[in-house]
Amino acid sequence: MEQPIWLTFIVAFIFMNVLLVGMAYMTWYERKVLAAMQDRIGPNRTGWKGLLQPLADGIKLLGKEDLIPAHADKVVFYFAPLVVFVVAITRVAVIPFGDISINIFGQSINLWITDLNVGALFLLAFGSLGVYGIILGGYASANRYSLLGGLRSAAQVISYEIILGLSLMGVFLLSSSLSIRTIMQDQMRELTFSIGPLHLVLPNWYILSQPLAFVIFFIAAVAETNRAPFDLPEAETELVSGFHTEYSAFRFSFYFLGEYINMIVVSMFAATMFLGGIDGPGADRFWGIGILWLLLKVVLFLFFYIWLRATLPRFRYDQLMGIAWKILIPLVLINVLITALIRLAGQGQLSF
């Protein structure tokens, strides 16, 4: 349903600030989980259980000296981190936090910023744009290691963005839509199976009908967000710190704001495309329960991000590209072919 543009801006402002707070506490969550896995304590001095650590980190970064290399392209150097940050936070615009409008003070409010009929493509496209901030930052730094990190990121994102898009083709075929809200609503239907006297009721989540696509999507999502074990653009053992070697203070923080926001948005995207988004027990009775289910699924995805970082060593660059082009591309194309054949057979349009 349509709502006034001023109200859409207010909803977008609220979502943006919730995302920023979530990003700040994602750093705390990651450090706590890593500490538990490595038998350490983690942040525990700043606030109760270290809960004020993100605030302390922010103050520290704002207080640091902002250094700029003498031979850097200063204009590009200034704005490259902002590209990553702005593109990352814009992607949340198409994520639905509910499938209904709620009434507050007599005003109907949508639980999404915009419902584009090509919302999934919008999210994928903006994910690809974020790499420009990395490439430009590496180029503008006048540092060979930074430039190499930017070039690595370009090749990595091109490879894995193709896989990310193709892994969703099965979902698009089954739902006959590119709207993320429509795909979420389609998964909220229940499927009933009868096996003799038993009657099974299962959710129509696409992870059940597209398990291979889900695994491939998650691997590509980890690579797209430059997270371990696919963090080759910033491999400290080879490139000092990669594309952000010359960045410091708050400009350095924009790159990591973008990285953590991308992790949260991609987790929301995966939860909505494969796990029904807000769908769960009790979600049809009260909209707040649906948001809690979405939050739980997002936290689960983020836990796997952290688990991978704590468990797997970094791949070599040739291994990274080999996994993409030799393994994942053939698998995802096979998945698309099988899904299309099953879809045609179900519609009675396939005959032998």
Q: Which residues contact 197 (CB under 8 A, 6 or more apart)?
A: none
Dist. CA 195–CA 199, nearest whole Å: 6
Dist. CA 50–CA 31, nearest whole Å: 10
pLDDT at site 168: 94
Q: How is the chain split into domains, by residue range?
A: 5-346
User: What type of residue sits at position 289?
Assistant: I
User: What type of residue sits at position 120?
Assistant: A
pLDDT at site 1: 55
* Long-range own/partner contacts, residues 109-117 (CB < 8 A, 24 or more apart): 109/3, 109/7, 109/11, 110/1, 110/3, 110/8, 110/11, 111/287, 111/291, 112/181, 113/8, 113/11, 113/12, 113/15, 114/8, 115/179, 115/180, 115/181, 116/179, 117/177, 117/178, 117/179
Dist. CA 273–CA 69, nearest whole Å: 43
pLDDT at site 2: 67
The interaxial angle of helices 249-274 and 180-187, nearest 10 deg, is 40
Is residue 309 a contact partner of residue 227, using CB atoms and an 8 Å limit? Answer: yes
Structure tokens at 120: 């999934």
Dist. CA 49–CA 28, nearest whole Å: 10
Longest dimension (CA), the chain: 77
Residue 349 neighbours by CB distance under 10 Å: 8
- Using DSSP's 3-state secondary structure scheme, residue 99 falls into coil
Dist. CA 224–CA 128, nearest whole Å: 9
pLDDT in tens, 214-247: 999 999 999 888 887 888 777 666 666 777 788 8
Q: Mind listing the pLDDT tens digit of every residue in the chain (352 residues)?
A: 567 788 888 888 888 888 888 888 998 999 999 999 989 988 888 888 889 999 998 888 888 877 888 787 888 888 888 888 889 888 988 999 888 778 777 778 888 888 888 989 999 988 888 888 888 888 888 888 787 877 788 888 888 889 999 999 999 999 989 999 999 999 988 777 667 677 777 788 999 999 999 999 999 999 888 887 888 777 666 666 777 788 877 888 888 888 889 899 999 999 999 999 888 888 777 778 889 999 999 999 999 999 998 898 888 888 888 999 999 999 999 999 999 998 888 776 655 4
Q: Which residues contact 218 (CB under 8 A, 6 or more apart)?
A: 270, 301, 304
Is residue 122 a contact partner of residue 165, using CB atoms and an 8 Å limit? Answer: no
313 exposed, middle or buried (CB, 10 Å; 0-12, 13-18, 19+)?
exposed
Q: Locate tokens 């992790």: which residue? A: 263
